[in-house]
Amino acid sequence: MVNATENKEKFIKIFTENVTREGSKELLEWLEKSTFFTDPSAKSHHGNFDGGLCDHSLKVYYSLKNFVQMYKSQFPEYEISEESIAIIALLHDLCKVGLYKKGFRNVKNDSTGQWEKKETYEYDDKLGMGHGEGSVYIIQTFMKINRCEALSIRHHMSAYDAAFKGGDNSINVAKSQFPMVTLISMADIWASQFEEETV
C-alpha cells in the first residue's frame, strides 16, 4: 500500500538535496501548494489512485538511477549530474498536476448483477500543450533547464507519444544527441509496467 505522506517526504528530500539552481525553491513551493502530491498518475493505468503521481515520479527516479548506472558501466566516460537526474525523473510528469478530476461511473457487479457507482477519474486538460511539452513549460516557468533535460522530459513517452506516431522525427534526433532521452524512457516504462499498482 502506498503511503502518500512518506512519498511526499521522500520526494522533497531528494529534490532539495539535489536540485539547487535558481528558481528550484519556488518550484517546490508551487508543487506543495498544488495537487501534485495527491493527484493520480493516470486515469485508469499505472498509479490511478490518490498520490499516484508522486509515487510514479519516485519510482521513475530510482529506476533512472539504476539505468544510468548500467549505462555508465558500458560507457564510463558518460557524465550526467545528480541534479539533472533528479530534475528529469521527478519532474517529467508535471503536466499531470490537476489533469484528472474525481468523478463516478456505473459498473455492473458480476456477482449480483446490480449496477453500482464507482469512483473514477475524468481527464480534464486545461494546459493543452501535449505531455512532455507541458512538463517542460511548467518547469521553465520557475527555473532554467538545459537542452538535455528539456529533450529528455519532452520525449520520455517515446513511442507512446502521439507526435511519434504521427511521424515526428524529433525523438530520433534527440536520442542521437543525448543518451538520457532513451534512459528516461526506459525508466518510465519500467516503473509504470513492472513496479506500479492500479486500482
| pLDDT at residue 119 is higher than 80 | no
Q: pLDDT tens digit string along 133-178? A: 999 999 999 999 999 999 999 999 876 665 555 556 788 888 899 9
Where does 4-98+128-194 sit in CATH, by number? 1.10.3210
* SS3 state of residue 17: helix
Looking at residue 15, its pLDDT comes to 98
Contact 2, 49 (CB under 8 A): yes
In this prediction, residue 42 has a pLDDT band, given cuts at 50, 70 and 90, of: low
- Sign, CA dihedral 152-154-12-7, equals negative
Greatest distance between any 2 Cα atoms in the chain: 62
Contact 24, 71 (CB under 8 A): no
pTM of the shown model: 0.86
Contact 134, 162 (CB under 8 A): no
Q: Is 185 left (phi over 0), alpha (psi -120 to 50) or beta?
A: alpha
Summary count for the chain: helices (H), strands (E): 9, 2
Q: pLDDT tens digit string along 54-110? A: 999 999 999 999 999 999 999 999 999 999 999 999 999 999 998 777 777 777 778
When pLDDT is averaged across residues 12-20 and rounded to a whole number, the result is 98
Contact 15, 29 (CB under 8 A): no
Looking at residue 39, its pLDDT comes to 86
Q: Which of 28, 10, 18 is nearest to 81 (CA)?
A: 18
